[in-house]
Copies of this chain bind each other. A is one copy, B any other.
Amino acid sequence: MASSDQIQSPETTNLRLLLLHRYPKFKTMFLSKLQTRYQILDPLTEPDPSPLSGSVRVMLCVGPTRVTSETLNKYPNLECIVGTSAGFEHFDLNECRRRGIIVTTAGDSFSDDVADFAVGLLIDVLRRVSAADRFVRAGCWPVKGEFPLAFKVGGKRVGIVGLGSIGSRVAKRLEAFGCTIAYTSKRKKPNVSFPFHSNIHDLAINSDVLILCCSLTKETHHIVGKEALTALGKEGIVINVGRGALVDEKELVQFLKRGEIGGAGLDVYENEPNVPKELFGLDNVVLSPHMAVFTPVSFQVLEELFSYNLEAFFSNKPLRAQIEFE
């Protein structure tokens, strides 16, 4: 990609772009367009470090690819990381701040899709949609008798962990089903009428369902562990569309295996793409492979956002969805 032709091209000489890709799909989706505007340096297909490393001013970081101080050392003139992920736990933010590197995220490009999917997982776990589908496809109806009754969505007390752009969209949707909403987050939100609980235990003890929509930080790592699961109780449901490590996965698996919580809908895992095999046999669990939170429409919105940010960076304009360092 960084052929000598391209290096000599006068249009791209001053536009340097580092692409750190993770999803092979990304190349076919966006790369050809990017190549018309930028010179691409791809560490997965070229020498790393490359002779061009010193010229890199901006990194397009695809998905939750880790960016450590070691990564940053390779690109001493990096000024900006344009991220394509809603989360930012894969960036060493302290190091970015220290070096004065601007970092952006996907902002709320995916928020509607993630919220839709969270609600889909919840209905699926409560009403056993995937399990019913499995039952029918296996030819069990009516051979194995009636399919067991499932649980009503309306009236469920839903506790949202992180009432940001995703959590608030989940709340809006579930209110239309007659669920009641409460939440916990770093601090009580102004202008939000849902009951606030200052810690996960209080939220869990007052909820039938916990939906994890928050960022993964030191504070939220394993926020749902033994204590929260115990407080949630035997019929409680955990939905995780945030990051795997928000939940103590080993504990969750034990609680599910022992029937000490009611079910779970998981789009993310602690050690992706590894999904605990003990879950595969459970009918009260719905599993999806992380990518399920994307749709082509969201990708288009995301592409607009990162394209805008790349242009803005090279034109010295303000960037969107920029992380504000605390």
Residues in chain A within 8 A of chain B (CB atoms): 23-25, 112-113, 116-117, 119-121, 123-124, 127-130, 132-137, 141-142, 145-147, 149-155, 172-173, 175-178, 273, 275, 280, 286-289, 291-292, 294-299
Contact = CB atoms under 8 A, between A and B. Distances in A.
A163 to B, nearest CB: 16
B294 A149 contact: yes
Q: Taking chain A's interface residues, is the majority helix, strand, or loop, or is none over half, making it mixed?
A: helix
Q: Determine how many copies of this chain the complex contains.
A: 2
Contact of A133 (B149, B287, B294, B297): B287
A136 B297 contact: no
Contacts of A172: 176
Given A124-B120, A176-B175, A150 B112 contact: no
21 contacts: A23-B146, A24-B146, A113-B153, A116-B177, A119-B123, A127-B292, A136-B275, A141-B273, A141-B289, A142-B289, A146-B289, A146-B291, A147-B292, A149-B294, A149-B295, A149-B296, A150-B294, A151-B297, A152-B296, A152-B297, A176-B176
Contact of A142 (B120, B155, B175, B273): B273
A136 B176 contact: no
A133 B173 CA distance: 23
Given A123-B123, A130-B129, A150 B295 contact: yes
Contacts of A275: 136, 141
Nearest to A151: B295
A145 B291 CA distance: 11
Sorted nearest first, the 3 A-B pairs with minimum C-beta distance are: A120-B123, A176-B176, A132-B288
Contact of A25 (B116, B121, B134, B146): B146
B291 A147 contact: yes
A323 B158 CA distance: 37
